[in-house]
Structure 1
Amino acid sequence: MNESQQYVLGVDGGGSKTVAWLVERSMIPPFPDSQSPDSQGADPLVPLGIGRAAGSNVRTVGMEAATQHLRQAVEAAFADAGIEPRTVAAACFGLAGAEHADAQIPFQDWAEQEQIAYKTIITNDAEPILHAEVEDGYGIALIAGTGSFSLGENAYDRVRNGGWGPLFGDEGSGYAIALDGLRAATRFADGRGPKTKLLAAFLERLELDEVSDLVGAMYRSSMDRRQIAELGEVVFMMAPEDRVAEGILQRAAVELALLVHKVANQLEDTEHELPVLLTGGVLINHPAFQERLVQTLKQTGWQGSRVYPVPNPVAGAVRIAAKNC
């Protein structure tokens, strides 16, 4: 094995950030027995280098910016490892906005032109989540970050639910939670909704003096979807002491549980207990909300026992790359 063949790359390209991991193939730990009820998921990967860049969702930033950010993340991973950039054995890019072949082909062409790897896999940003904790990649991935959707796969089928975007979807996401909080706050300001501390909390977060200032703050051109989604943190912060905020989070948990149930129903897998893999800032950054979701799943009939948080979906991209060496 020559020196380049020692390494694989995994890249997680989302709407708000891109993360690349450079990993030595021999250092990738095996999976535990995934069917054991006591299984805690895969042992963590230890990357040689980590690179970060801005988002690379082609639907929101365009192809030129997406590939620029991918290149920056890959180069930063090599720099972090103290290794000169080189063609690696295999690379997997899990990219938001690249669900279909027509979106994947331009990235495949770009990666080959850049000579990033001898073998390149381009897939959507949910596929690596399934491979991060389960060897066969069979399970249900639930993503709740800026947006939300679920993806399930078993030996017979792959199905997707949600992911309709911010205009008429993304229920349970940070963006949806933020909007629900802002609606509740302004309804209270108008006298059309129940009293809530969310109004004062949003004004403080946005450094505003008057309720009327919300319009200018929220509709200014520089306020993008990611920044609005970050305001969902206000709802999480106020939930312990505000019934309105608490209700928003409970409705979000119900919506996310529904995404899991519908994927499970579509897969119709009665032979295996499919694990549920959770990722995205809404779930990973809020363990109490993660537990709320698990309880909501159980209360709505979920019989499974294996629920794994996936803080680093890029680890799944590394494992996919290693499988294809």
Structure 2
Amino acid sequence: MSQYVIGVDAGGTKTTAQAFLLPDGTPLSVTTGAFGNVTVDFNEGLAHIIETTDALIEQTDGTCAFLCVGCAGVETGDKKARMQAALNAHYPELSVFVTNDAALALYGALKGADGVLVIAGTGSIGYAKVGDETFRAGGWGHLLGDKGSGYSIVIDAFMHITRAFDTRNPDTPLVRAVFDALGITELRALIDFTYKSTKGEIAALMPLIERLSDEGDEECQSILNDAADALADLAILLCRQNNLSAVAVSGSVLTKCKRVFDRFSRTLHEQIDGVTIINEPFDARRGGFYFYQTR
């Protein structure tokens, strides 16, 4: 009977699980369920992960040899140990490994090889893989880190706007564009939006900053340059600490914003000898297959 590995990517909005045939990793069935981020609700997130995994096992021919769950928020407090214990109890016949979603993506992006992954979406984080060990840099949340993220970029733009009002020079392309996008006319309304909105709602304005930069606005170009430099710092730190030269990227800030990626890439080529930058789509769930291969 054939055997397969399951990789589960449990995020804040959905949980997806996929089976990969052994020994070559051929993709098999996929199932999707509700959110699996255990910081939202531990019991409900865990239940969604189990429901999604059970559905996949039921529809996949063969025997599952290994279950790898990459879960957002799992390293907060004792959640990883609790989830590992719960999954071990629910799947007593399986070898189960619990990690965070970024580490799962790291293995998926690098296909199990050693290297660095820098993720820049709403938040940002850097991860390095050396053998069977992983190391992180950044990703400490919007108050302590996440520089170079979509959220950070927009907050930097808002700070430029408040500075424009402080210096009595509020008639700038950035002020006009942000006020138009939010349908506001006063700085007080921008302050209210900033403190009442989610990180995702704020980060959603990042394409506006990119558009202004593409149109030649030097203020927005400077903001994006700073973001690229912050992300490059993560990669350079991890490469130098671990003697690595392969860097993969993920997240819309790096994969979709040309200015950020080009400056990030140029800086890495200047600072890391023989660096290889991997900017191509990858399946984080396949990270479960590579975890199985390297464990």
With normalisation by structure 2, the TM-score equals 0.83
Q: C-alpha distance in 1, partners of 2:36/2:245?
A: 30
Report whether the alignment pairs 1:147 with 2:123.
Answer: yes
1:108 equivalent in structure 2: 84
Aligned-pair distance for 1:13?
2.9
Shift of 1:251: 0.4
Q: How many residues align?
A: 294
CA contact (8 A) 2:127 2:135 kept: yes
Shift of 1:119: 1.9
How many angstroms apart in 1 are the aligned matches of 2:106 and 2:53? 22
Q: Taking structure 1 as reference, are residues 136 and 212 closer, same or farther at Cα in structure 2, changes over 3 Å only?
A: closer
Q: TM-score, normalised by structure 1?
A: 0.76
Runs of 4+ in 1 over 6 A off after TM superposition: 84-87
Corresponding residue number in structure 1 for 2:222: 247
Partner of 1:212, secondary structure, is helix
Q: Partner of 1:37 in structure 2?
A: none
Identity within the alignment, %: 29
1:21 equivalent in alignment to 2:2: no
Is 1:10 aligned to 2:7, yes or no? yes
Q: Does 1:283 align with 2:254?
A: yes
SS at match of 1:49: strand
- Relative distance call for 1:213 and 1:47 in structure 2 (3 A) is farther
Which one-letter code corresponds to 2:206 in the other structure?
Answer: G
Q: Is the 8 A contact 1:91 1:321 kept in 2?
A: no
CA contact (8 A) 1:107 1:122 kept: yes
Structure 2: state its 5+ residue gaps: none
Opposite residue 306 of structure 1, the aligned amino acid is T
User: Which runs of no fewer than 5 residues in structure 1 stay unpaired?
Assistant: 30-44
Deviations 1:191-228 (A, max 9, x none): 367863222222233233443322333333xx222222
Question: Is 2:267 the partner of 1:296?
Answer: yes
Give 1:250's aligned amino acid.
N
Amino acid at match of 2:272: W
Task: Work out which of the residue numbers 205, 226, 230 in structure 1 matches 2:204.
Answer: 230
Name the CA shift for 1:186/1:119 in 2 (closer, same or farther; >3 Å). same
Q: Does 1:264 align with 2:239?
A: yes
Do 1:7 and 1:22's aligned partners in 2 also have CA atoms closer than 8 Å?
Answer: no
Q: Tell whether the 8 Å contact from 2:18 to 2:27 is kept in structure 1 after alignment.
A: no
State the Cα RMSD in Å. 3.3
Hey, what does 1:159 align to over in structure 2? 135
Q: What is the match of residue 39 of structure 1?
A: none
Deviations 1:126-174 (A, max 9, x none): 3223322434431111121222221223249643221221112111111
Shift of 1:180: 0.5
Secondary structure of the residue that 1:89 maps to in structure 2? strand
User: What does residue range 1-325 of structure 1 map to in structure 2 within 5 Å?
Assistant: 1=1, 6-14=3-11, 16-26=12-22, 28-29=24-25, 46=27, 48-51=29-32, 53-54=34-35, 56=37, 58=38, 60-71=39-50, 73-74=52-53, 78=56, 83=59, 88-99=64-75, 102-115=78-91, 118-155=94-131, 158-191=134-167, 196-220=172-196, 223-241=197-215, 242-267=217-242, 269=243, 274-299=245-270, 301-309=271-279, 311-320=281-290, 322-323=292-293
Letter in 2 for 1:21: A
SS in 2 for 1:256: helix
CA positional deviation for 1:282: 1.7
Pick closer, same or farther for the CA change 1:315–1:117 going to 2, 3 Å.
Answer: farther
